[in-house]
Chain A
């Protein structure tokens, strides 16, 4: 598979980041940031970039970046799929600094970013992974992104897995499937995984159903979101499992199983769903879909 090349419009991304940060940072902090930005862009030694990157939260607030609908549309226009809705202000500043580093020499740029990654603390790591869709030479960071998925630090894992278009664009099937499974394994929600529905695949469905069996055998529960990637592959073999969820005493499980069945192509799936007319009707009327399900049943979880 040849992944699409999604190159961010970097000069405009930098301008946009500065605009957003300025709404929440003091004028003094902005002066500091603009000066560092100019120094780094002007070819200052990498150590300048490292110190500014680490020191950013000493000046720039750590609160969440407040973005309106228009801002998010602008982000998506500058880099398709870029969704900074969960970024903090200092993360935006850190992104600006790293994206200010001259990118004329590909190896020098990638080497600089790798060095920052390899010495990063917890919040720095999260910031660097959230920036994945913005780096120049973004295809060079595939192994690094997969490394983020291996992290045991929840916030670092979620920086790659949530609201980040990079995995769905650049991960091969194995890495992608591992990420989705690990999200469930770490109690991270699936609806925030960018491109989830577009990259469902049969081996993933198999892995998720196996995982459900393993959990059930141990007397544990699974997140109802597990059924979302299973739906399009819900053929005979999975119908017993979906029936089990459909007849659960938890409404969230019933709804998720019904939605999965509605996504399936097999006639047997349609037949099973027909046995639950109330759920079927809500799906057909549009009252129940994955979006409303996420909003009503999952939101509020990490």
Chain B
């Protein structure tokens, strides 16, 4: 049997900010599925209608658009920490969430957590953890840029308080300072390969060497900032060049994300390997991932993300 080309999942990427060239390049590089966490848009929304249209867009148009390029699109729904500071609006968003949380392809409540760690952020973070518990959903946690170590610990404390099982919570944007505690407490540890503000991929190679692969996976979190939608396949290639074993690479760029989000019942390998005819027709541009012996390639030259 011919070996399957390397397939990748980017379990955190804000595709509404990306172009069709990005979709093309991602698919060519072997990215078969993406998860689009609900987040903020670079500037705060001022009306509930803006939230509603945003949620509708990530379950609707963006999902369809991704399908046209042979990429399967999923999302998470939630109120992000920054905008949780606008309390009157946050109240309205909380009422909107149940309308979206149960939709097909919604794999978690997220990305939620702390930004400045204000009382408002804490309030809406915990309310959403309660909602996740009530709806039996996974949670995706955004750990803060500033004061990250404390923010990460406090995020997990809140999950423990509410009584969520650690293996149903993905803690994202980890670094060398946070990873040990996240793994020790039994949570999933995601790493974002994002230039300048988060992880570089050379550092990621070292993390995998030191911490192994259990409950670790990587994503790009590519968005409207300087970021790279090919971060996952590029990091896989860098790992291979630096002597990391193939199965290790596959675990952190595909298998673990599948295992973590597969718990939702909304994220299955079958969706892209053997799409049901109706999904193929509606969501997948009539394509199947393994069509016509495509060889995944990273189109761009630079491999290192600083």
Give me the interface of A with B, judged by CB distance under 8 Å.
47, 50-51, 54-55, 57-58, 62-64, 88, 118-126, 152-153, 155, 302
Contacts and interface: CB of A to CB of B under 8 A. Distances in A.
A118 B56 contact: yes
B224 interface: no
Nearest to A91: B278
Interface residues of B, number: 23
A153 B102 contact: no
A189 B24 CA distance: 28
Nearest to A119: B99
Question: Which of B59, B98, B99, B276 has the most A CB atoms < 10 Å from its CB?
Answer: B99
Nearest to B59: A121
Question: Which of B59, B63, B279, B283 has the most A CB atoms < 10 Å from its CB?
Answer: B59
Contact of A122 (B55, B64, B100, B102): B64
Contacts of B61: 152-153
Contacts of B100: 54, 119
B259 interface: no
Interface of B: 52, 55-56, 59-61, 63-64, 98-100, 102-105, 265, 276-279, 281-283
Given A50-B98, A58-B265, A153-B60, A121 B276 contact: no
A125 B61 CA distance: 11
Contacts of B99: 47, 50, 54, 119
B278 A63 contact: yes
Contacts of B59: 121-122
B102 A55 contact: yes
A118 B52 contact: yes
A126 B282 contact: yes
A73 B100 CA distance: 36
Contacts of B55: 119
Given A57-B104, A58-B265, A122 B283 contact: yes
Question: Which of A47, A123, A152 has the most B CB atoms < 10 Å from its CB?
Answer: A123
Contacts of A119: 52, 55-56, 99-100
